[in-house]
Amino acid sequence: MLIKSVEFITSAVRPSQFPAADLPEFAFAGRSNVGKSSLINSLVNRKKLVKISSTPGKTRLINFFCVNDALMFVDLPGYGYSRVPESERRSWRPMIEGYLADRENLRAVIVILDVRRTPGGEEIQLLEWLEQRDLTAILVVTKADKLSKTAQKKQIQIIADALAANPEDMLVFSSKSRQGWDALWNTIVSLAQAPPEDERA
Ligand code: GTP
Ligand code: MG
């Protein structure tokens, strides 16, 4: 994938603030601090497009980015971080669900998992929620550079088992080493090119 342009469009909390839904869109979801913002930066070859932080809870708004004037990337705030104030945690669900439930150009949700962590209830809930709404989930296991290739393989199996998923369906990624960069872009591009479900014959 050749990245010609990347542009920050807007930050939003509610649908009336969302930009026009006229490009194929991909949202990035996952636990706080899992590496969502880093993954977006890595995909678009930019170090500082999206703010990243070692303090979980950095991304608190829904941020829209346009890539090559052809795709929209959406960085979602992370879930499951207890140090985010309770009032904000309570507003997380309606904010994210308000986005996911009603975005007709959304082609897939990239669900990001940490290679070192066995996913739990929150990940399972998110995946079930996406399935109920017929939304495509792409499972990406990031921070792969933190483990050796052998350890990666073992962990992928553990993560797949926890999610009742097929290990072959999970993309192994690292924002640091760029492992998995081509594979993830290929997946995104092919979903962007496929006609939306409701227009299929
Ligand atoms: P919130 O916005 O707080 O939900 O976090 P986030 O999911 O956007 O995570 P972010 O990209 O801010 O990264 C969190 C921390 O993990 C930062 O210190 C990153 O440098 C680090 N990190 C992210 N991806 C990788 C990776 O692939 N490898 C390594 N080694 N570190 C990573
Ligand atoms: Mg972030």
39-54 mean pLDDT: 84
pLDDT of 45 strictly over 80:
yes
Q: Where are the alpha helices (DSSP H) in the chain?
A: 36-43, 86-100, 121-132, 149-163, 181-193
Give the atom of ligand 1 at the shortest distance from the alpha carbon of 60: 2
Q: How far apart are CA 49 and CA 41, in angstroms?
A: 6
Task: Enumerate residues lining ligand 1, CB below 6 A.
Answer: 30, 32-38, 52-54, 56-59, 78, 142-143, 145-146, 174-176
**Could you tell me the distance, in angstroms and rounded to a whole number, from the CA of residue 39 to the centre of ligand 1?**
8
Instruction: Count CB atoms within 10 A of the CB of residue 130.
Output: 17
pTM over 0.85: yes
117-162 tens-digit pLDDT: 999 888 998 999 899 999 999 999 999 999 999 999 999 999 999 9
Strand order in the sheet with 71-75: 6-12, 62-67, 71-75, 25-30, 106-114, 137-142, 170-172
65-87 mean pLDDT: 82
The yes or no reply on domain 6-193 and CATH 3.40.50.1820 is no
pLDDT at residue number 139: 98
Q: CA 81, 85, 86, 91: dihedral to nearest 10 degrees?
A: -80
State the average pLDDT for the chain.
89
Domain layout of the chain by residue ranges: 6-193
